[in-house]
Amino acid sequence: MKTNYKFHKEDKITALTGAGISAESGIKTFRDRDGLWENHRIEEVASPVAFSKNPEMVWEFYKQRYLQLAKVSPNSAHFALKKMEDFCSSNFNLITQNVDGLHQIAGNINVLEMHGSLRQCFCSKCLHSFEMKEIDFEQKIPKCDHCSGNLRPNIVWFGEMPYEMEKIDKILENTKYFIVIGTSGIVYPAARFLSIAKYFGAKAIEINLEYPINSVVLDEFHLGKAGILLPELIEKWIT
């Protein structure tokens, strides 16, 4: 596999990951051929309106997603990104749209979870946050210990503002390399990050199983599985 780049420790490097990086760990991506996410239309389970209409069904859905996490582990692509952070420490930023926490389990520290985390929830009334492992799933709609409000998963749903946006804006302005891994690039604002980083002068690299919709702005594209390509590429970039 050919790449034109060599990274240095002082280079600012950013990776943006999507569901594709966790596919080889056994977690289903969002936009498979049937257009359904674990048998649900995304908007049925991932919006504040869906939660207010049917909190029980939304909780059951995220409970299943959370319980699935106990059975999965990081794959070689996650570990390759840990190697990247070891190489350039705080010059490496990892922005993820994933909510599975596998980057942190692989050892990455500098992770921005812009869509939240399946491993946490918070009270929709008083905003107190809880670890999912503390939750008693016997309750169909878990309640807050402090105010008895309905808890909700700490997931950024459609129509809500993603986390860490101020930090992300600064990172995009200053990064020298922007590496996009396993995302379909159709959910905003993450879909815009590549063009912003390019606008500020970054080299753009993408790894995906399919040809991307935004290929015109890419400096390098690698077609294939992240778990195979990323370890090889990172080895070439940092040695």
Residues that bind ligand OAD (CB under 6 A): 18-20, 23-24, 29-31, 42, 46, 97, 115, 155-156, 182-184, 187, 207-210, 225-227
Whichever of 50 and 91 has its CB closer to ligand OAD, that residue is 50
Written as six digits, the tokens of 92 are 């490496």
Residue type at 136 in one-letter notation? D
At closest approach, how far in Å is the CB of 183 from ligand OAD? 3
Active site residue 8: no
Q: Exposed, middle or buried by CB within 10 Å (0-12, 13-18, 19+), for 35?
A: exposed
- The least distance separating ligand OAD from the CB of residue 77, rounded to whole angstroms, comes to 7
Contact between residue 21 and residue 226 where contact means Cβ atoms under 8 Å apart:
yes
Q: Smaller CB distance to ligand OAD: residue 124 or 184?
A: 184
Cα-flanking dihedrals φ and ψ of residue 195, to 5°?
-65, -35
CB of residue 187 to ligand OAD, shortest distance in Å: 4
Q: Which residue of the chain is nearest ligand OAD when measured via CB?
A: 20
Which is the catalytic residue, given 8, 40, 78, 115? Answer: 115
Nearer to ligand OAD, 58 or 144 (CB): 58
Strands (E), 146-238: 151-155, 177-181, 203-208, 220-223
Whether the ω angle into residue 55 lies within 30 degrees of 0, i.e. cis, is no
Catalytic residues: 115
